[in-house]
Amino acid sequence: MPEVHFAGPEGRLEGRYHPNPSEGAPIALVLHPHPQFGGTMNNKVVYNLYYALHELGFSVLRFNFRGVGRSQGEFDSGIGELSDAASALDYLQELNPNARQCWVAGFSFGAWISMQLLMRRPEISGFVSVSPPANMYDFSFLAPCPSSGLIINGDGDRVAPPDDIVKLVAKLKAQKGIHITHDIVEKANHFYDKGMEEMIGTVTEYVHTRMSAIDGGDAGR
């Protein structure tokens, strides 16, 4: 798992990159939770997503937002972090110019940033949003949401309450041309102290199915 450093808007960003040697392998960017509450690229949810996507055949990058670990800069309330994510995706694409698919995944604060990135980068073909904090952040920018994807959360989450996520999903499902899959992991809290294996299993099954659908020309499935 090679350590990498690449240029961000406010200096060098630290990451981990796991390539897939297959020609045209898909790429995925995984974004970590809130930097001011201990979120790093080594968060266990991020770590497990990263390896699950690599096992599915992706070349995967995770990185520390500005001011975290050895990434330069200071926390910027999401504005700068979105720019960091865009730089990370640029870097990943430079390494994989022939990638046949591009995905983004995020956990908590990282889910919010990933969905904003989704709106700005039409090449993103799918997303995984784990425990998006719909009670803390405005997701109304997803109008319309440009891609189908998976939203997953725990029914015992007190940080990002399930009722708020259900309301978000309902709004997205009302949009035409995309399909939002929503799964709730029983007895899981925000950090998946229980239910991690089930969550990752659901993500793996969903992404595998969607990848096949996109490769087969049914991108909206």
Mean pLDDT of 52-70: 98
User: What pLDDT is attached to residue 221?
Assistant: 44
DSSP string, 137-206: S--TT-TT--S-EEEEEETT-SSS-HHHHHHHHHHHHTSSS--EEEEEETT--TT-SSSHHHHHHHHHHH
Checking if the pLDDT of 1 tops 70, the result is no
Average pLDDT over residues 65-92: 98
What's the chain's average pLDDT? 96
Strand duo 149-154 + 59-63: pairing: unpaired
214: its two tokens = 């996109």
- How far is 178 from 172, CA to CA, in rounded Å? 9
Cβ contacts of residue 69 below 8 Å, gap of 6+?
Answer: 14, 40, 41
For the segment 102-124, the average pLDDT, to the nearest whole number, is 98
Predicted model pTM: 0.97
Q: Read off the pLDDT of residues 15-43 as tens digits, 9 standing for 90 and up.
A: 999 999 999 999 999 999 999 999 999 99
Say yes or no to pLDDT of 219 above 70. Answer: no
Query: Selecting from 1.10.10.410, 3.40.50.2000, 3.40.50.11540, 3.40.50.1820, what CATH number does the domain 3-210 have?
Result: 3.40.50.1820
Q: Rounded to an integer, what distance in angstroms lies between the CA atom of residue 3 and that of residue 97? A: 20
Evaluate if residue 212 carries a pLDDT over 90: yes
Place of tokens 């659901």: 202
Give the residue extent of every domain in the chain.
Answer: 3-210
